[in-house]
Structure 1
Amino acid sequence: MHLLMLSSDVKIFDAGSRVANRMALYGSIVDELLIVVAGVGVPQEITLAPNVRAVTAGGTNRFSSFLNMQRTLRALTKEKAYDIVSAQDPFFIGVLGYGIAKARHIPFQVQLHTDCFSLGFLTESPRRVIEALLAIFILGRATCIRVVSERVLKSVRKVTKVPVTVLPIHTEYTSDVGPTRSNIGSLKFLSVSRLTSEKRVHLIIDAVALTPDAELTIVGDGPLKKSLEFRVKRLGLGERVRFVGWQDPAQYYESADVFVQASRFEGYGVSLIEAGLSGLAIITTDVGIVGEVFEDKKEALVVSGTSSAIAVAMKRLIEDKEIRMRLGAQALESARHHSMSMEEYLLCYQRALSRCSI
């Protein structure tokens, strides 16, 4: 099988990154994988495996990168025939994928990693509404669809009857549960997140301000970092909230007591699974795999999207060690049950592609 994949993830060009390694592994289940990436900047090309290559035509801005990607796709598909076109989202990348698949008369797979029909997504900004409308159009014209959770499947079923495969995101994280934790002093809360508006990390910071015995470590980076740092300073939380940037979160999972997430929407929630595999008690909003893997009061405390609700949950876990330990133990069991090996994941991925080629 010769697979043409469309992506907007420029981390593919970072040799050794998680996404680059994952793309290289996909080469084990296809004859050839060509990844065309929409990215701002200079043109790039990288070989990730003998049969896996990624290219981007670059561009000075998003619009020019979109046009350059379109021209690149036309040229590449004239040179060689592909068996499947797979777009990593049903938005603007999906539009390009649909156009190429239709022009070359080949099957079209759409991947959906977020819950783009949820209220949280639709109310975030006018752009999200446009993306949801594009998704309705593109998903209805796909040959097959791959989603990352049952929540996203339910959303997709509202707009199309196209065959759908549910394949959770593979999580490579492993942990020695709990050996470095100490319950001396304040309880250690952890957020692992991109610092963007939909993640609502500011709500977690505000909750810490309402919870005197809470300390928070934020692992992640993004466009809101400076404003969040200013918020911490304004609230006088400099000694209780620290930003460590984006890095391997393993050491922070191992030393934390509780994981906190306040996302407006998620399709899956990799950090939730990682926290569960670390045996952490979890506080989260009702997004992604919540309800599918982690249930309220069983493996997590599920809260509304307000700082006061998060603070109430924080105080409860500070005051009741028994509940905190029980939630962590059950989250660990559920996360392990939900996880699969890379070999199992690749087999399921191959089946999803085969379903699209029929």
Structure 2
Amino acid sequence: MKVVMLSTDPSVLVSGSPARERMQAYSTIAEKLYVIVLHRVSKEKPPVALAAEVPSRIRIGRRLVLCPTYSSSKIGMFFDCLRVAKKVLPPKNSGVRTQWLITAQNPFEVGILGAFLAWRHDVRLELQLHTDMESPYFKHQSVANLMRTYTARFLIPRAAGVRVVSTRIARSIAARARRKPSVLPVCVSVGVLRTSPIRLEIRKKYPQFDFFILVVSRLTREKDVGTALKALGEVVKKYPKTGLLIIGDGPERKNLELQATSYKLQANVMFLGWQEDVLSYYRGAHVYLLTSLYEGYARTLVEAASLGCPVVTSDVGVSGELFAHDNNALVCPVGDADCFARELLRIREDGHLARALSVRAEQTINDHVIAKEDYLMQCAKIWRECLK
């Protein structure tokens, strides 16, 4: 089979990047994999490319071809994608419908492109869904998200297949899909995580704290890190040497810094930006905290749990699928700062509970996380099903 993947991740064009490595892995299960990278460029944002020149195609081995659009605007991306796809996909009525598959990174804007190309060239379409679009928090976050939800509801019944990252998402769209959605969790290299060396002793770097709460997240509204700050405020009243380390950055950082100041938590909160050595923070923290309003999968939960860090999380993503309250994690309703504070205090005050949660979570990860080879085999099977 030949696959055309529509991607919005420009890091695919960077040699050695995780995204590039994923594409190379995908190419091993297809006769040919063309990745059309919807990449917007300008004077302020020059092209992400391998060399000084800007190639229209980047061939990697015999099976992988990267096709960046290098568009000057969002609208231009649509027409540039059509132009690139016309050179790659077979013409309509060429009799190869069951040999070509288009897979779109999401069922929203990229899904519209994928659906149009599938109709124009008479080939099959797979939609990928990596977020919980039926969550009320997603739909009501913005008018754009509400429109995305309705777009996905229109496209999903018309796709040959839908691939999602969690059972939670599969259940939410099952009634709309032509066939049962395929669940393929995010591939987390647990073995690599566990064998990576500890490069930083955070308990030595921040001696002012005797208890560490870790958050690893983009600082955006849906991550609801403000609720983590509210919960910390309650914990600090009883244990003033508690520290919250926030790894990540984003448009909400300034607001969160102001919020920490208004709660008089400047001495307890460290905004660290993105860090290369996140694993050392997972290993050094006493608890990992996730307060998101919605998630598709919540990869950081799996990473933290696989390294023995107890987890306190909102009921999103794989919570309920991999993590159960009072079994291998502590789970709170979305946005419930009082619950988060209460569960953080339980971890702080009950070392036996923390160890039990950690051990059971590690065992769950061992039992459920799939290896890279199995992930690719399942993906190939899903693609073949779409072509039937």
TM-score, normalised to structure 2, is: 0.86
* Counterpart code for 2:194: S
Partners of 2:275 and 2:16 in 1: CA distance? 14
Gaps of 5+ in 2: 50-56
Per the TM alignment, residue 277 of structure 1 is displaced from its structure 2 partner at its CA by 0.3
* Counterpart code for 1:331: A
Partners of 1:148 and 1:109 in 2: CA distance? 14
* Kept in 1: contact 2:59–2:66 (CA 8 A): yes
| Structure with larger Rg | 2
* Counterpart code for 1:292: E
Which residue of 136, 151, 165 corresponds with 1:134?
151
Residues 176, 189 of structure 1: CA spacing in aligned structure 2 closer, same or farther, 3 A cutoff? Answer: farther
Matching of residues 105-124 of structure 1 within 5 Å: 105-124=122-141
Which stretch shows the higher mean deviation, 227-236 or 271-280?
227-236
Number of residue pairs matched by the alignment: 358
Match of 2:30 in 1: 30
Alignment of 1:243 onto 2:271: yes
TM-score, normalised to structure 1, is: 0.92
Alignment of 1:207 onto 2:226: no
Which residue of 326, 344, 347 corresponds with 1:297?
326
* Counterpart code for 1:204: A
* Kept in 2: contact 1:27–1:49 (CA 8 A): no
Partners of 2:149 and 2:265 in 1: CA distance? 38
Partners of 2:60 and 2:310 in 1: CA distance? 37
Q: Deviations over 1:274-308 (max 9, x none)?
A: 11101111111111111111011111111121322
* Kept in 1: contact 2:112–2:155 (CA 8 A): yes
* Counterpart code for 1:18: P
Residues 232, 171 of structure 1: CA spacing in aligned structure 2 closer, same or farther, 3 A cutoff? Answer: same
Alignment of 1:87 onto 2:116: no
Residues 71, 234 of structure 1: CA spacing in aligned structure 2 closer, same or farther, 3 A cutoff? Answer: farther
Gaps of 5+ in 1: none
* Counterpart code for 2:40: V
Match of 2:72 in 1: 60
Which residue of 221, 224, 228 corresponds with 2:256?
228
* Counterpart code for 2:162: I
Match of 1:307 in 2: 337
Match of 1:194 in 2: 218
Q: Deviations over 1:105-162 (max 9, x none)?
A: 1111111111111222112222111111000111110011111111111011132232
Partners of 2:262 and 2:197 in 1: CA distance? 33
Match of 2:305 in 1: 276
Alignment of 1:175 onto 2:175: no
Alignment of 1:355 onto 2:385: yes
* Counterpart code for 2:13: F
Partners of 1:65 and 1:178 in 2: CA distance? 42
Partners of 1:47 and 1:243 in 2: CA distance? 40
* Kept in 2: contact 1:178–1:255 (CA 8 A): no
Q: Percent of aligned pairs with the same residue?
A: 29
Partners of 1:186 and 1:206 in 2: CA distance? 19
* Kept in 1: contact 2:174–2:180 (CA 8 A): no
Partners of 1:178 and 1:326 in 2: CA distance? 24
Q: What secondary structure does 2:3 align onto?
A: strand
* Kept in 1: contact 2:5–2:104 (CA 8 A): yes
Match of 1:320 in 2: 350
Partners of 2:116 and 2:67 in 1: CA distance? 19
* Kept in 2: contact 1:178–1:278 (CA 8 A): no
Residues 195, 182 of structure 1: CA spacing in aligned structure 2 closer, same or farther, 3 A cutoff? Answer: closer
Residues 293, 318 of structure 1: CA spacing in aligned structure 2 closer, same or farther, 3 A cutoff? Answer: same
Q: What secondary structure does 1:211 align onto?
A: helix
* Counterpart code for 2:246: I
Residues 329, 227 of structure 1: CA spacing in aligned structure 2 closer, same or farther, 3 A cutoff? Answer: same
